[in-house]
Amino acid sequence: MSKEQWTAVDRYLTDLLVAPDAALDAALAASAAAGLPAINVTPNLGKLLFLLARMQGARNILEFGTLGGYSTIWLARALPAGGRLITLESDPKHAEVARANIARAGLSNVVDLRVGRALDLLPGVAADMRAPFDFVFIDADKPNNPEYFARSLELSRLGSLIIVDNVIRNGAVIEEDSSDPGVQAVRRMNEMLRAERRVTATALQTVGSKGYDGFAMVLVTSDPKQRSQ
Q: Which of 91, 96, 112, 223 binds ligand SAH (CB under 6 A)?
A: 91
CB of residue 73 to ligand DHB, shortest distance in Å: 16
20 half-sphere exposure, CB direction, 13 A CA radius: 3
Q: What phi-psi label fits residue 166: left (phi over 0), alpha (psi between -120 and 50 degrees) or beta?
A: left
- Amino acid letter for position 92: P
> CB of 198: closest distance to ligand DHB in angstroms?
26
Cβ–Cβ under 8 Å, residues 71 and 46 = yes
User: Interface with ligand SAH includes 41 (CB under 6 A)?
Assistant: yes
Q: CB–CB of 218/149 below 8 Å? A: yes
Does residue 140 bind ligand SAH (CB under 6 A)?
yes
C-alpha closest to that of 115 among 88, 96, 142? 88
Query: 14 touches which of Mg ion, ligand DHB, ligand SAH, none (CB within 5 to 8 A by kind)?
Result: none
Binding-site member from 18, 39, 103, 121 for ligand DHB (CB under 6 A): 39
Give the Cβ contact number of residue 99 at 10 Å.
18
Cα 136 from Cα 151, distance rounded (Å): 11
Select the binding partner of residue 118 from ligand DHB, ligand SAH, Mg ion, none (C-beta < 5 to 8 A, by kind): ligand SAH
User: Which parts of 119-148 interact with ligand DHB (CB under 6 A)?
Assistant: 139
If the CB atoms of residues 67 and 153 are measured against ligand SAH, the closer one turns out to be 67
Per the CB < 8 A criterion, the answer to whether 99 and 125 are in contact is no
Contacts (Cβ under 8 Å, ≥6 apart) of 167? 173, 186, 189, 190, 203, 213, 214, 215, 216
Q: x/- binding map, residues 42-81, to ligand SAH, per CB under 6 A?
A: -----------------------xxx--xx----------
Residue 112 binding result from ligand DHB, Mg ion, ligand SAH, none, given CB thresholds of 5 to 8 Å by partner type: none
In angstroms, what is the minimal distance from the CB of 129 to Mg ion? 28
What pairing do the DSSP bridges indicate for beta strands 60-64 and 84-89? parallel
Among 78, 139, 196, 207, the residue binding Mg ion under the rule CB under 5 A is: 139
Which residues of this protein are in contact with ligand DHB, per CB under 6 A?
Answer: 39, 139, 165-166
